[in-house]
Amino acid sequence: YSTGINDLEKLGDLGSGTCGHVVKMLHRPSNSVIAVKQMRWSGDSEENKRIHMDLEVVLKCDNPYIVSCYGCFINDADVWICMELMSTSFDKLSKLVGGPLPEDIIGMVALGTVRALHYLKVRHERMHRDIKPSNILLDSHGNVKLCDFGISGRLVNSKAKSGNAGCAAYMAPERISPGTSGHRDYDVRADVWSLGISLVELAAGTFPYQGCKSEFEILSSILHQEPPKLPNNNFTPEFHSFIEACLRKDYHQRPKYNKLLEHPFLLRYASKNVDVGAWFAQVQSNLSKNVAESHRTKVDNNKKHD
């Protein structure tokens, strides 16, 4: 589609993060509603070159577990990435539910994310660098898809240098404390760690390093404490074992994607039909019932006062 920025009309906000914000927009020529991620360039020209290279890959990605990208607008100041509009993200879902998500839902999140990461590695030689629940999205059919690989990680990284590492909490130990062999002593297994932390967060309904008062405390807990574990509420031994494998502090002991895809936890979801869309619809309808309920209670209370 040859199109210009004037073809887009803002409909509303979808959220904002460490490196920009995401808005819902109408693309008038096709009459379709899309999501547009709006970011600033980083100050570093080497970094910007790499962002350009990552954008090329983003546009080439064609995989059912990755949010489709339609194109981007670039000028001196900003980068706009036009993508498929999704229904929600798992950070929002976790808050909406306000507690642990069911194991079957988390299993589908794990399977979709590992398949997406495996595709990025095998087809495009890329890692993600910014795995966290807000980058794992759900579409209206209940499909789990990954977004924001590479680019946002880089923009977050470039901000991190100026003291704002927004997503430090998901960072693998080897990225915090690089080895002696140079500054890039990590590989795809750093993303496997971040996935493990994200899944524990969804299973607990709270953030694993919640007790930490500062970013420094979080980073030092990641380095010096035992890795987070699943809470002991009725999760299966396969799920516990999957998390234990993702969260091995020594990354040489942590499995890569081929191994993970053969893990009994993911094999279960590769053959089990879990209707994530139906679950999401249920969550939304419970929520609107609760809202209606609390409205009724308020009206009743007011009547009592009359």
Asked if 86 interacts with ligand ADP (CB under 6 A), we say: yes
Over the window 129 to 168, marking each residue x when it contacts ligand ADP by CB under 6 A and - when it does not, the resulting string is: -----xx-x---------xx---x----------------
Q: Residue 89 binds what, of Mg ion, ligand ADP, none (CB under 5 to 8 Å, by partner type)?
A: ligand ADP
Q: Which residues contact 68 (CB under 8 A, 6 or more apart)?
A: 61, 62, 83, 84
The CA distance from 105 to 87, in Å, is: 16
Q: Strands across the sheet with 136-138, in order?
A: 88-89, 136-138, 144-146
DSSP one-letter string for 198-212: HHHHHHHSS-TTTT-
Q: Which stretch binds ligand ADP (CB under 6 A): 58-66, 73-81, 87-95, 265-273?
A: 87-95
**Least distance from ligand ADP to the Cβ atom of residue 119, Å:** 18
Asked if 91 interacts with Mg ion (CB under 5 A), we say: no
The CA distance from 277 to 77, in Å, is: 38
Return the residues of window 107-136 that contact Mg ion according to CB under 5 A. 135
**Least distance from ligand ADP to the Cβ atom of residue 150, Å:** 13
CA–chain centroid gap for 221, Å, is: 22
Return the residues of window 53-82 that contact ligand ADP according to CB under 6 A. 67
Active-site residue 130, yes or no?
yes
The answer to whether the beta carbons of residues 197 and 171 sit under 8 Å apart is no
- Give first-to-last CA distance, the chain, whole Å: 61
Asked if 54 interacts with Mg ion (CB under 5 A), we say: no
Asked if 17 interacts with ligand ADP (CB under 6 A), we say: yes
- Using the rule CB under 5 A, which residue among 148, 174, 191, 201 binds Mg ion? 148
Give me the active site residues, please.
130
* Site residues (vs Mg ion, CB under 5 A): 135, 148
